[in-house]
Amino acid sequence: MKQQNEVDALIDKVKHIHMIGIGGSGMCPLAEILHSKGYSLTGSDNNESDPLKRIRKLGIPVYMGHRPENISGAELIVYSAAIGADNPERQAAAEKGIPAIERSLLLGALTRKYDMVVGVCGTHGKTTVTSMLTQILIMADYDPTAVIGGRLPLIDSNGIAGKSEYMVCEACEFVDTFLQMSPDIAVLLNIDNDHLDYFKTMENLTASFSKFVHMAGRAAIVNGDDARVMQAAEGAPGEVITFGMDKKNRYHAANIVHGPVGMAFDWMEGEKKLASIELQIPGRHNIYNALAAAAAARYLGVEPAAIAHALAVFHGAGRRFEILGRFDGVTLADDYAHHPTELKATLTAAKNMDCKRVVAIFQPFTYSRTALLLDDFIKALSIADKVILTPIMGSRETNTYGVSSEDIAAGLSDCVVLPTFETVADYVSDIAQEGDILITMGGGDIYKAAYMIRERLSQ
């Protein structure tokens, strides 16, 4: 039995929950799960979005704008991390003595309502692996519940509320929010130098991942090629199952070939071939992602042939090398890559596709990351033939580092910095040539520029 806490007791007691920022990618799937469990829900948001349309279809009332009267009748308030303490609905809740919790606490409580929870963690690849595993389980009729950090095209959503005891969750390490969860199986993909503004050292970051892996009582499915991952998994309470390229791993890839779009390989368990896997998404990093999802699905009892079939029809998660269109021989893609390792993987994958030129359009995300990893950003972006940068998106930070996109540009041979998405879209549509892959990248709102570019190219 999973250990209950105060939040669990609160959620068991209340009937009406109000969600501030209900249309957010992290909130929408939680609303669906609560709705499926019979809660009375209301929500508020500032922006119309596809997730909001989905929420309304379920019959959940949504208020546009944040006002004190929106929380009328609520017994519990749930808010996303983007909602500050000065929000009028949070202030009204505090005045009325209505308990309010951040979404990670709700997600943690929900993981204790399922008997088989798979938590997918790691610095890179979480959304893709969570999406892959969810797709495999849906297609194998496991009827899972899922909370994903991006849109899965199969369900056209960031999550799904199934009726079985299986739950798949993306587990994010940022400010240790994943430690609120109670996984039965932990999937650990990699450990890289990110969020060091919070963790300070790689040792602290590794220790956090280790805590998460040690919370999973049944199994830890881990990247055996990553030394820090193996360090984090040491002494894990459940079965430790390794995957990777090296033959020493329980599951590995052999006979890797570049297909016309993605990669193909033989999925091996020791000397035994389990299946041939053909991916529709490019990049060596996606072989690791597929091996991780396949290992987790195999642990849950899915047959190798069913796993291979589901992966063969997986076309990526939203903003994960998402092809937005092809226009007179120009391919436009959008990707969430915001760390040098991710940029390197994405740009290398693009280079291995049949193209003449890779044009990278990058929006650096957070000043701390840009300052700390400046040389690594320059090195990764130099893989592209041409680079267009936007100003840094600070997100939750102020620029106490004195860093700018011009600092990256100074280290690149063919690079321009443009001030707005409008100027980016105009410039890119002017320089685009047949045989180009244009790829927008970043953890912020650079996807808006991608849609502007698409609009111009389609004309």
Read off the pLDDT of residues 383-398 as tens digits, 9 standing for 90 and up. 999 999 999 999 879 9
Hunting for tokens 């620029």 — which residue is that?
A: 399
| Nearest alpha-carbon partner for 33 in 109, 97, 116 | 109
Q: Are 22 and 55 in contact (CB under 8 A)?
A: yes
Mean model confidence pLDDT for the chain = 95
Q: Are 132 and 286 in contact (CB under 8 A)?
A: no
Selecting among 32, 42, 123, 126, the annotated active-site residue is 126
- Write the DSSP assignment of 147-211 as a string of letters: EEEEEETTTTEEEE--SSSEEEEE---GGGGGGG---SEEEE----S--HHHH-SHHHHHHHHHH
Q: How many degrees, rounded to 5, is the angle at CA 160 between CA 157 and CA 163?
A: 165
Q: What is the pLDDT of residue 1?
A: 62
Q: Which pair of tokens denotes residue 236?
A: 């894990």
Residue % of the chain over a pLDDT of 70: 100
- The rounded distance, in Å, linking the Cα atoms of 446 and 330 is 19
- CA of residue 450 relative to chain centroid, distance: 19
Mean pLDDT (whole number) for 443-449? 93
pLDDT tens digits, one per residue of 133-182: 999 999 999 999 999 998 999 998 999 999 999 999 999 998 899 999 99
170 part of the active site: yes
37 part of the active site: no
Rg, C-alpha atoms of the chain: 22
- The rounded distance, in Å, linking the Cα atoms of 77 and 366 is 29
Residue 198 has pLDDT above 80, yes or no: no
Q: Determine what percent of the chain falls in helix, strand and coil, rounding each to the nearest 5.
A: 35, 25, 40
Q: What is the pLDDT of residue 182?
A: 97
- CA of residue 81 relative to chain centroid, distance: 16
Helix 421-431, helix 447-458: angle, nearest 10? 40
- The rounded distance, in Å, linking the Cα atoms of 350 and 358 is 7
The separation between the first and the last C-alpha atoms of the chain, rounded to the nearest angstrom, is 59
- Write the DSSP assignment of 264-290 as a string of letters: EEEEEETTEEEEEEE-SS-STHHHHHH
Mean pLDDT (whole number) for 449-458? 96
Selecting among 127, 331, 346, 370, the annotated active-site residue is 127
pLDDT tens digits, one per residue of 110-138: 999 999 999 999 999 999 999 999 999 99
15 part of the active site: no
Dihedral of the CA atoms 323, 327, 328, 330 (nearest 10)? -50
Selecting among 32, 170, 173, 322, the annotated active-site residue is 170
Q: Are 261 and 282 in contact (CB under 8 A)?
A: yes
Q: Which pair of tokens denotes residue 352?
A: 């291995």
Lowest mean pLDDT among 188-197, 243-252, 449-458: 188-197
Q: Which long-range contacts (CB under 8 A, 24 or more apart) does 151-158 make?
A: 151/25, 151/317, 151/318, 151/319, 152/317, 152/318, 153/315, 153/316, 153/317, 153/318, 154/314, 156/50, 157/28, 157/29, 157/32, 157/51, 157/54, 158/25, 158/26, 158/28, 158/29, 158/51
Q: What is the pLDDT of residue 352?
A: 86
Q: What is the pLDDT of residue 122?
A: 97
Instruction: List strand residue ranges (DSSP E) for 270-399, in order.
Output: 272-278, 322-327, 330-335, 357-362, 386-389
DSSP 365: B
